[in-house]
Each structure stands twice: as C-alpha cells, then as structure tokens.
C-alpha cells in the first residue's frame, strides 16, 4: 500500500508539482504518445483537477511526460509530471482520475515532488521490459542458453542508428560532411539485467532516458544474432 | 479486457490503429445477451471524418438510451486496412463489440455527401452483405442479414443508390426511429421475414422502401414515374420532422476519440433549419422550418458536455448562427462561464457585423486570425439571383469593421457556374476581392499598418444544382467551362491594382461533374457506381484516390451520359425521381423561386415575411410564431 501524501495549497502556498504513474493495458496500447498526452489533458479536465496552465495566447496544461512508450507496448508504469494549484491528497487525485478513465488506463500512483526535483523525462535512467512471443513467432532456439551466453560475454558490439545524424543527413543532403548514420555501441554496458522466465518470456532491464535509450528490439535482435538466426 | 477484431500484427502495420480499436471515452458497452436489436451505425468515410459528425452522435445517444438496443459505430477502413481485410478475408466489424457487422440487425449508413457512394459499397462488401438489396433473401427470417438503411441529406434523392439499400429514412432521425425499432422487435418475435418487416415499415412516416417501386422512363431518357410492386407501397413519403427540439435526444456524453478528429470539440446545435432561403442551398430547404433551441437547454448542454468530454473548445453549430435570436446572449454566457476555465468558444457561420465583432472581442483575447465572408457571388445581380441577401455595402462595412479591429486577413468564398452567370459576373469576383483589399487601405491609416500587407484570399467552388432547391431545374457548367471561368477569375485578379494582396484558390472540376450526376441522378446511375467500384473506385472525395478515368469508363460501359444529368436545363414540367418525397416545401414554391431567380428578384427571409413555402404544414418552429405565417399559407 503506497503511503497517502497529504497535499494542500495552504501548506505549500504555491503550485504543486505531482508525479503521476499510470498503467496501460489492452487495446489502448495502440494509442500513440501524442494522443496519450491529449487523452490526459482531457482526463484532467473531466476529473476536475485544478491544473496550472501556461501563460500566453494559447495556454496549455503544465504537464510533462517521461519517455514515450512505443505504439503496441503495454506498460505497468508510465510517468508524467503535472502542476496543480490545489489537491486534497494523492489518493483524491488518483480516485478522481480513475473514475473517468478509458478501459485499460489506470493511475497507480501520485506523489508530490520536491522543488528541486528533475522533470520526469530527466529522471528516467532505466526501463524494465518483458518480451513475450506471439504464437507462431516463438524463437526456434534455446533462448535460455543464448541469454546465459550473452550474460557471460564481456562485450557485445552492435551498430545503432544515430537518429540525430540521420535527421541531419536528410536536411543537408549531398553535403560532404555527413555524419555517420550508425554508431558502434557496446550493448553489454547498457543492459543491466537479462533473464528468461518460466512462461517463455524474456525480461530485461536496460538503459533508458534522453541519453543512451535502448529499445528492447535491439536486445532481442542481438540475441537472435547470437543464436545465428 | 476487450478483444480487438484485428491482430497485433495488422494493427501495428496500419496507419492510425486507434481508428479500429474502439473503447473511447463515453463509447457504450452492453451485454449482447440482453439486447433485442443490434444496430451498426456507419459513416462511410475514414474515422476522423465520421467521428466529427453530430447526427450519428445524436442517434447513438438515442438508441443506446434504450435498454433493448445496442448501437455501435462503423467507419470505412482506410485504404491500407481495406487491402489487408480483402486479402485475409477479415469481415468488417463494429468498434464497440468488435463483432462482424454481418451479425447485426441493422446497418445504418448516413449519406452526408454524394462522393461517399462507392464507400457505401465498400462497407457492404467488407461486411459480406450482398451489394444489391434484391440479392438479400426477402423470405429469410429477420436477423439473418442486417437491414441496410440509409439516411442523411443525400437520402432526399435516394435513387442513385436505391438498389443498395433495403430502406431509407427520409428526415430527422429523432422522430421515427423508436417506431421502426419497435416494429422490428415485434416482427422478429413473431418469426416474421425480411419482407414482413419491410412491408410494415412502409407505413411509417419517412420510410421509403425502394424495392417496392420500379422507375419508368420516357423515350428521351427522362424520368416518367414509377410502378408500384408491393401492395403496401405508399404514393408519397413525408419527411420526418422533429417538433420539440428542446426535448429531443442530444449527445450529452459524446464519444471522445483518442486521435485528433476534424471536429475535436463540444458541438452545440443551436437551431435547425435556416430562415434565409438561398436558392442554391439544399439544407436551407430540407431542414425547414427553422427551429431554435432555448437558451436554458443550450446552457445545460454545454455544462454537461464539457464535463463529460473534457474538451477545451465549444463550437456553435447551425446553418446561420447569426439568425439565432439569442446569439449575443448565448455567446456572452459562454464566455463568462468558461473564460477562466481555459475553454475556447468558436463561432462559425456568423454574419460579420458590429454585433459579431463585439462577440469576437470577448471570445478571443488579441489573437487576430482571419475572418471569412461568404458572398457566394461576385456581382450584386448574381447575389440577387441566388437570393443571398447580402450587398456589396454589407461586405465593405463588415470588412472595414474587421480591419479597424486589427484583422488583416480576410477569406472570401464564392461559387462559379451559378445559373445565368455571365463573364461580367465572373470577373466581378476579382473586382470584389480587390475592393475589399482597397477597403483596407482606405480604413487603416498607413502608420497603423505596421508593415503588414492585407491579404484577401478568395476561393471558388463549382456550383452543383441539388434536388429540392429552386435550382433543381438548372443546367450545370461543363468541367471545361468551370476551368475557363476559374482561369478568368485568376487572370482578372492578376490585373487588379491590389493584385499583390490577392490570393485565389479553386477546386477540381471532375469531382463536381460526378457530384452533379449523383445529386440529380436516377436509379440507372447505380449501375455506374457499381461498375466504378468494381474497377477499384473508392474514397472519391479524397483527391489521392479519385480516378476520373475509371469513372469515365464506367459511364461508357453502362451506356449512360453524365451530361444528360448535369448539362440540361430541365423543362418545368419534367418529373424528377425525387418528386415522391414531401419535404413540406412544395414544388410550386421551388418553381416560383426558380422563376424569380431568372429575374434576379429577392425573396424575403422567413423572419421578415412568410413566402408560403409549405413548411408550415409541420406546425413547428418559426411557422408557429403568431402572425408569422401569411394568411392563406397555412397548410
């Protein structure tokens, strides 16, 4: 049971920054990141939260999301920060939001952030993924052994697409100083944990965030390569 | 957790998978075991367009209020998914239950514009419903194959798509659908057949069963009338009119899409119908008489809908919002209620005058976008011909007010190819645009212009005569003539003194030709639609998928001449395939208006003076205001 935080404007006398955690399961996993943001803007209004808006001609809710989740992925814990001018308690915020949710989306946590807290995006260091295989697409090799071999190796060099470079390449087409579109990377350094489970899924904890973000596809691809597939 | 009809693999491979998963806020889930009637309500275009349509949301609310009916939504799968569904034989499904449409009791398809007709066939085809109603077994028990029912403005001339539908609902859905659903339930309970139900439905006001009639044609190809094929077929079909709009169903909990759709806001329908009587406008005739909703009703709607959706914008909807008698009061209330809640108010279809500017000032802080005027025609003579009821002075005054208020962008909407249009009328469009630009220099002193150049953007669409308008007898221009006129506007514009401030856009002409055929076509046109669909035509209103060559082939193969439907000025005594529908407004009135248009005579609007159009027979709206309906005009 998460501790109940008491949140009140009187105590802080200024806007509060909340970090909200939510889960996303079922068909809603096909809702993209931008649409999830729009979804929560509407949800906040439906829930009657006292959200702080930005100044200017087109004021928007002061809300900032952590990492975008790929379309198609389910999640137990996604995060965003939300500024509110008042809120009775974390439980009240959670209840208000969850009574107006679409099926499959649930707020599972809400904490008040200290003033010096980094924003949600900057706070992300790692992400846990569970990869399951669809019927008919199971790996045709001993995954457990390959994972063990990967874990035992000292390094695993892969070529990762350099997105910034790829973007630059598009805008400066034909220039002589094109940055390389791929960079070498030791995947080993960014995989903090990797194991197989009894239900034939693969669990991994990988580096995540604005720098050195490792997508689970990269690891799976590496495992397939290692297995010679 | 709900299951999706489409596999992960497919959902990940198509554009915007959110279109197909359902589960949106306020979408309705029911237990199908408790349901007597399953209704699939379809807008035959892509999700983002279909989800923006108010009419479906109204019926969705109305149907789902009943415990014995479950209404679900269906939209056209986009071309990418369409291909996959055909390849893998995946049946079309409704969003809520993700169940195949084929197992529903009804498939309702709204016909909002003619260019969706091939998409109607796409929907039927993907649903695995025989494309022609005649191929659906009349002796089969109800529930075996959905009853395909059409509605919406294009149903006022249903003939070009008549063979594809079991029935049409002519008029406003709020009025008669309960009756139709009750009938279905009772016929089904008694073990009746499809034909039993159709024959029963023929007695319900507003219901038209096309298979009960066979059209007959004269030797010259014109429509002669029809033979009745069923003992219960009525002579005429009277449109269903909703008389108590304040008490009518309204979607207070509209479905909120996950993706951004075209109409992404709370929509308040403030009135239905229009007092104006513009002679080109079908909506202005078929929705008569004008009926307003009360302020209290609208306030209640706004509160409930904002709460239920979390939308950040409220938009007013009507054919001509300025004519709503309490518009200023409503806007004031909306602004006061929502200004501190970060909810915008948008005001389309407003006449631009001082009252409007005052409202705009309260609505928008200081962001000055562009304002739109719809003079519809360039010359005063032409505006009188179409009974637009707006003068050059109105436009100049309106634009002067805008410029003084700080706006520097104006959009002007025109039509090209209006009946009796001369080259002088065409070039007048450019002159008017130039006049508006000049007006800027006259009203805004040089020191206040801040280096901003005034921008007047004119756009023209090609006029398509529609049934149930005074121009239903008129000839339409050929695509070449349309383009010549568009080029003439462009050329004239380039030679105007203020040409640097003028911009001009026009639409394609091939699409208009087709629209013209469908709008006033007869049942023979259905074969062309079927043929074109067979050639792969679909999403014809989308430039990227419209293929005029295939359409030309289809006309040729069916031995039909598009020009027969569009290019003839029809004689006054010609029978029309849509004459059997009674919209209240009489053919006599339309004819009178047509003749007045030829003399450029203006007809006053309903509020100034009743012209006896015939809509008073419905005994509602403006026709019931004491002293409003002229003597002798009552039904």
The pLDDT tens digits of the residues spanning B110-129 come to 999 999 999 999 999 999 99
| pLDDT (0 to 100) of residue A170 | 54
Mean pLDDT of B45-72: 97
- CA-based nearest residue to B177, from B286, B316, B55, B276: B55
Q: Which two tokens stand for residue B222?
A: 């014109």
Q: What residues make up the domain containing B317?
A: 265-362+604-635
Chain B interface includes A38 (CB < 8 A):
yes
Chain B residues contacting A via beta carbons under 8 Å: 1-2, 4, 8-9, 11-12, 17-18, 21-25, 256, 258-260, 306-312, 342, 365-367
Chain B interface includes A161 (CB < 8 A):
no
**Nearest CB to A59 within list B21, B308, B342:** B342
Residues of A in contact with B9 (CB under 8 A): 134
Q: Are A162 and A180 within 8 A, CB to CB?
A: yes
| One domain for residues B291 and B165 | no
Could you tell me which residue, B263 or B572, shows the higher pLDDT? B572
| One domain for residues A113 and A133 | no
B609, pLDDT greater than 60: yes
CA distance A220 to A203: 10
Judging by beta carbons within 10 Å of its beta carbon (0-12, 13-18, 19+), is residue A103 exposed, middle or buried?
Answer: middle
Mean pLDDT of A105-116: 95
- Across the interface, whether the CB atoms of B307 and A46 are under 8 A apart is answered yes
| pLDDT (0 to 100) of residue A58 | 80
| One domain for residues B153 and B286 | no
| One domain for residues A172 and A114 | no
Question: Could you give the count of Cα atoms lying within 13 Å of B583 in the half-sphere of its Cβ?
Answer: 27
| pLDDT (0 to 100) of residue A167 | 60
Count other C-beta atoms under 10 Å from residue B36's C-beta: 16
Q: The domain spanning residue B100 has which CATH number?
A: 3.40.50.280
CB proximity list for A72: less than 8 A, separation 6 or greater: A29, A30, B8, B11, B12
Mean pLDDT of A83-93: 93
Residues of B in contact with A43 (CB under 8 A): 310
Q: Evaluate whether residue B254 is within a structural domain.
A: no
| One domain for residues A107 and A164 | no
A4, pLDDT greater than 50: no
| pLDDT (0 to 100) of residue A135 | 86
Question: Which whole-number Å values give the CA distances from B191 to A220, B141, B144, B203, in the listed order?
Answer: 58, 7, 12, 20
Task: Mutation target for A interface from B10, B19, B25: give the one with most A CBs within 10 A.
Answer: B25
Å from A26 to nearest chain B CA? Answer: 6
Q: Is A149 helix (H, G, I), strand (E, B) or coil?
A: helix
A168-177, B71-80, B249-258: least confident range: A168-177
Chain B interface includes A53 (CB < 8 A):
yes
- Across the interface, whether the CB atoms of A35 and B18 are under 8 A apart is answered yes
A1, pLDDT greater than 50: no
Chain B interface includes A55 (CB < 8 A):
no
| pLDDT (0 to 100) of residue A214 | 92
- Across the interface, whether the CB atoms of B309 and A42 are under 8 A apart is answered yes
**Nearest CB to A102 within list B12, B23, B260:** B23
- Across the interface, whether the CB atoms of B17 and A71 are under 8 A apart is answered yes
CA distance A144 to A191: 16
A5, pLDDT greater than 70: no
Q: The domain spanning residue B516 has which CATH number?
A: 3.30.750.200
CA distance A105 to A25: 7
Q: Evaluate whether residue B588 is within a structural domain.
A: no
| One domain for residues B105 and B203 | yes
Q: Evaluate whether residue B349 is within a structural domain.
A: yes
| pLDDT (0 to 100) of residue B107 | 98
Mean pLDDT of A194-218: 92
Mean pLDDT of chain A: 87
Residues of A in contact with B339 (CB under 8 A): none
Chain B interface includes A5 (CB < 8 A):
no
| One domain for residues A118 and A141 | no
| One domain for residues A202 and A176 | yes
B312, pLDDT greater than 70: yes
Mean pLDDT of B244-249: 94
**Most distant pair of Cα atoms in chain B: their distance:** 81
Q: pLDDT-based confidence at B308, cuts 50/70/90?
A: very high
Q: Are B403 and B450 within 8 A, CB to CB?
A: no
Looking at the 3D structure of chain A, how many domains does it have?
2
Torsion of CA A193, A194, A197, A202, to 10 degrees: 120
CA distance B16 to B346: 27
| One domain for residues B318 and B228 | no
Q: Evaluate whether residue B248 is within a structural domain.
A: no
- Across the interface, whether the CB atoms of A102 and B25 are under 8 A apart is answered yes
- Residue in chain A closest to B95 (alpha carbons) equals A27
| One domain for residues B460 and B412 | yes
Could you give phi then psi for residue B328, rounded to 5 degrees? -65, -40
| One domain for residues A103 and A183 | no
Q: Evaluate whether residue B172 is within a structural domain.
A: yes
Q: Evaluate whether residue A4 is within a structural domain.
A: no
Question: Could you give the count of Cα atoms lying within 13 Å of A89 in the half-sphere of its Cβ?
Answer: 8
| pLDDT (0 to 100) of residue B168 | 98
**Nearest CB to A31 within list B258, B342, B366:** B258
Q: pLDDT-based confidence at B448, cuts 50/70/90?
A: confident
CA distance A53 to A73: 30
SS3 sequence, B144-197?
CCCEEEEECHHHHCCHHHHHHCCEEECECHHHHHHHHHHHHHHHHHCCCEHHHH
Q: pLDDT-based confidence at B634, cuts 50/70/90?
A: very low
A172, pLDDT greater than 90: no
Q: Evaluate whether residue A1 is within a structural domain.
A: no
Query: CB pairs below 8 Å between A and B: how many?
Result: 71
Q: Is B236 helix (H, G, I), strand (E, B) or coil?
A: coil
| One domain for residues B356 and B387 | no
CA distance B213 to A48: 56
CA distance A37 to A32: 9
Q: Which two tokens stand for residue B619?
A: 């005994």
Q: Is A53 helix (H, G, I), strand (E, B) or coil?
A: strand
Q: Which two tokens stand for residue B501?
A: 């401030």
Q: Evaluate whether residue B193 is within a structural domain.
A: yes
Q: Evaluate whether residue A2 is within a structural domain.
A: no
Q: Evaluate whether residue A3 is within a structural domain.
A: no
Chain B interface includes A30 (CB < 8 A):
yes
Q: What residues make up the domain containing A118?
A: 9-122
| One domain for residues A105 and A165 | no
Q: Which two tokens stand for residue A38?
A: 């729009």
Residue in the structure block whose two tokens are 């006029």: B463
| pLDDT (0 to 100) of residue B574 | 97
CA distance B626 to B623: 8
Among the candidates A88, A122, A156, a domain finishes at A122
Count other C-beta atoms under 10 Å from residue B540's C-beta: 27
Q: Is B519 helix (H, G, I), strand (E, B) or coil?
A: helix
Mean pLDDT of B522-538: 98
- Across the interface, whether the CB atoms of A57 and B260 are under 8 A apart is answered no
Å from B311 to nearest chain A CA? Answer: 6
Q: pLDDT-based confidence at B21, cuts 50/70/90?
A: very high
A42-56, A163-177, B111-125, B524-538: least confident range: A163-177
Q: The domain spanning residue A97 has which CATH number?
A: 3.30.70.580
Q: pLDDT-based confidence at A182, cuts 50/70/90?
A: confident
SS3 sequence, B490-510?
HHHHHCCCCHHHEEEEECCCH
The percent of residues in chain B predicted with pLDDT above 90, rounded, is 85
- Across the interface, whether the CB atoms of B365 and A103 are under 8 A apart is answered no
Task: Mutation target for B interface from A23, A27, A56, A74: give the one with most B CBs within 10 A.
Answer: A27
| One domain for residues A74 and A90 | yes
- Across the interface, whether the CB atoms of A30 and B256 are under 8 A apart is answered no
| One domain for residues B340 and B405 | no
The percent of residues in chain B predicted with pLDDT above 70, rounded, is 98
Å from B257 to nearest chain A CA? Answer: 9
B633, pLDDT greater than 60: no
Q: The domain spanning residue B305 has which CATH number?
A: 3.30.750.210
Q: Evaluate whether residue B529 is within a structural domain.
A: no
- Apex B464 CA angle, B525 and B613, nearest 5: 100
Chain B interface includes A137 (CB < 8 A):
no
| One domain for residues B283 and B205 | no
Q: Is B39 helix (H, G, I), strand (E, B) or coil?
A: strand
| One domain for residues A69 and A164 | no
| One domain for residues A90 and A27 | yes
Q: Evaluate whether residue A130 is within a structural domain.
A: yes
Å from B574 to nearest chain A CA? Answer: 54
Q: Evaluate whether residue A107 is within a structural domain.
A: yes
Q: pLDDT-based confidence at A176, cuts 50/70/90?
A: low
| pLDDT (0 to 100) of residue B542 | 92
| pLDDT (0 to 100) of residue A7 | 52
| One domain for residues B97 and B214 | yes
Looking at the 3D structure of chain B, how many domains does it have?
3
| One domain for residues A166 and A76 | no
A97, pLDDT greater than 90: yes
Chain B interface includes A50 (CB < 8 A):
no
| One domain for residues B343 and B388 | no
- CA-based nearest residue to B464, from B53, B157, B164: B157
| One domain for residues B415 and B440 | yes
Among the candidates A122, A149, A180, a domain finishes at A122
Residues of B in contact with A31 (CB under 8 A): 18, 258-259
| pLDDT (0 to 100) of residue A10 | 46
Residue in the structure block whose two tokens are 């690891």: A219
Q: pLDDT-based confidence at A179, cuts 50/70/90?
A: low
| pLDDT (0 to 100) of residue A9 | 45
Q: pLDDT-based confidence at B635, cuts 50/70/90?
A: very low
CA distance B266 to B338: 13
Residues of B in contact with A57 (CB under 8 A): 365-367
| One domain for residues B202 and B60 | yes
CA distance B619 to B388: 26
Mean pLDDT of A162-189: 67
Chain B interface includes A32 (CB < 8 A):
yes
**Nearest CB to A30 within list B11, B310, B312:** B11
Å from B97 to nearest chain A CA? Answer: 12
Q: Evaluate whether residue B181 is within a structural domain.
A: yes
A64, pLDDT greater than 80: yes
Residue B310, phi-psi category: left (phi > 0), alpha (psi -120 to 50), beta (remainder): left
- E strand segments, B354-398: 370-376
Question: In what side-by-side order are the strands of the sheet with A202-207?
Answer: A126-131, A202-207, A191-196
Among the candidates A122, A146, A163, a domain finishes at A122
Q: Are B315 and B365 within 8 A, CB to CB?
A: no
């Amino acid at each position: 049971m998460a501790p109940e935080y008491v949140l009140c404007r009187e105590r802080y006398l200024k806007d509060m920054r909340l970090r909200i955690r939510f889960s996303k399961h079922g068909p809603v996993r096909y809702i993209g990141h931008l649409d999830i943001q729009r979804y929560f803007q509407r949800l906040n209004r439906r829930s009657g939260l006292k959200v702080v808006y930005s100044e200017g001609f087109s004021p928007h809710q002061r809300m900032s999301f952590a990492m975008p989740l790929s379309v198609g992925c389910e999640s137990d814990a996604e995060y965003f920060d939300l500024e509110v001018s008042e809120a009775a308690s974390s439980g009240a915020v959670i209840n208000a939001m969850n009574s107006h949710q679409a099926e499959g989306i649930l707020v599972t946590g809400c904490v008040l952030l200290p003033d010096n807290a980094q924003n949600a995006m900057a706070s992300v260091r790692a992400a846990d993924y569970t990869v399951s295989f669809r019927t008919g697409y199971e790996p045709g090799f001993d995954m457990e052994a390959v994972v063990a071999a990967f874990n035992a190796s000292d390094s695993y060099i892969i070529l990762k697409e350099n997105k910034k470079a790829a973007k630059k390449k598009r805008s400066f087409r034909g220039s002589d100083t094109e940055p390389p579109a791929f960079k070498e990377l030791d995947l080993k350094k960014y995989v903090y944990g990797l194991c197989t489970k009894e239900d034939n899924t693969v669990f991994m904890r990988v580096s995540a965030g604005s720098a050195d973000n490792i997508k689970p596809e990269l690891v799976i691809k590496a495992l397939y390569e290692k297995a010679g597939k | 957790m709900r299951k999706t009809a489409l596999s992960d693999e497919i959902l990940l491979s198509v554009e915007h998978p959110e279109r197909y998963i359902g589960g949106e806020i306020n979408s309705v889930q029911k237990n199908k075991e408790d349901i007597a009637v399953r209704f699939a309500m379809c807008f035959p275009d892509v999700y983002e367009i279909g989800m923006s349509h108010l009419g479906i949301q109204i019926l969705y609310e109305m149907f789902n209020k009943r415990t014995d009916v479950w209404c679900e939504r269906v939209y056209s799968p986009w071309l990418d998914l369409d291909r996959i569904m055909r390849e893998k034989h995946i049946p079309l499904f409704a969003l809520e239950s993700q169940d195949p449409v084929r197992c529903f009791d009804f498939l309702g398809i709204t016909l909002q514009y003619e260019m969706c007709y091939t998409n109607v066939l796409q929907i039927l085809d993907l649903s695995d419903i025989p494309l022609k109603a005649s191929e659906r077994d009349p002796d089969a028990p109800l529930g075996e194959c959905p009853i395909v029912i059409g509605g919406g403005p294009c149903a006022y001339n249903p003939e070009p798509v008549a063979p594809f539908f079991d029935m049409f609902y002519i008029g406003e859905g709020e009025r008669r659908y309960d009756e139709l659903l009750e009938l279905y339930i009772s016929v089904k309970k008694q073990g009746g057949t499809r034909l039993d139900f159709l024959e029963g439905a023929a007695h319900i006001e507003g219901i038209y069963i096309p298979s009960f009639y066979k059209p007959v044609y004269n030797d010259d190809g014109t429509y002669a009338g029809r033979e009745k094929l069923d003992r219960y077929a009525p002579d005429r079909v009277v449109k269903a009119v909703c008389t108590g709009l304040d008490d009518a169903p309204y979607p207070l909990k509209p479905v909120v899409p996950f993706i951004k759709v075209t109409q992404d806001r709370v929509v308040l329908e403030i009135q239905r119908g229009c007092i104006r009587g513009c002679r080109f406008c079908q909506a202005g005739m078929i929705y008569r008489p004008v009926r307003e909703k009360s302020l209290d009703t609208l306030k209640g709607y706004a509160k409930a809908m904002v709460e239920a959706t979390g939308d950040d914008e409220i938009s007013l909807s009507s054919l001509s919002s300025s004519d709503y008698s309490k518009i200023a009061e409503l806007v004031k209330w909306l602004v006061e209620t929502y200004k501190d809640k970060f909810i915008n108010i948008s005001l389309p279809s407003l006449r631009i005058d001082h009252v409007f500017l005052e409202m705009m000032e309260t609505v928008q802080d200081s962001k000055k976008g562009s304002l739109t005027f719809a003079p519809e025609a360039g010359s005063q003579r032409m505006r009188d011909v179409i009974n637009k009821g707006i003068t050059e002075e109105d436009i100049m005054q309106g634009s002067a007010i805008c410029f003084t208020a700080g706006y520097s962008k104006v959009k002007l909407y025109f039509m090209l190819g209006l009946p009796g249009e001369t080259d002088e009328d065409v070039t007048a469009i450019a002159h008017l645009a130039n006049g508006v630009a000049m007006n800027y220099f006259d009203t805004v002193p040089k020191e206040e212009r801040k280096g901003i150049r005034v921008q007047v953007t004119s756009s023209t669409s090609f006029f398509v005569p529609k049934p149930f308008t005074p121009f239903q007898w008129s000839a339409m221009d050929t695509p070449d003539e349309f383009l010549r006129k568009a080029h003439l506007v462009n050329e004239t514009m380039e030679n105007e003194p203020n040409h640097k401030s003028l911009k001009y856009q026009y639409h394609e002409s091939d699409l208009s030709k087709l629209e013209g055929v469908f709008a006033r076509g007869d049942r023979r046109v259905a074969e062309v639609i079927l043929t074109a669909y067979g050639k792969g035509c679909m999403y014809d209103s989308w430039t990227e998928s419209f293929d005029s060559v295939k359409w030309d082939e289809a006309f040729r193969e069916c031995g039909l001449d598009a020009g027969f439907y569009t290019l003839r000025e029809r004689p006054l005594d010609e029978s029309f395939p849509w004459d059997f529908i009674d919209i209240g407004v009489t053919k006599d009135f339309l004819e009178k208006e047509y003749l007045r248009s030829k003399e450029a005579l203006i007809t006053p609007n309903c509020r100034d003076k009743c012209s006896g159009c015939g809509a008073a027979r419905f005994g509602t709206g403006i026709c019931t205001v004491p002293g409003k309906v002229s003597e002798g005009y009552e039904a």
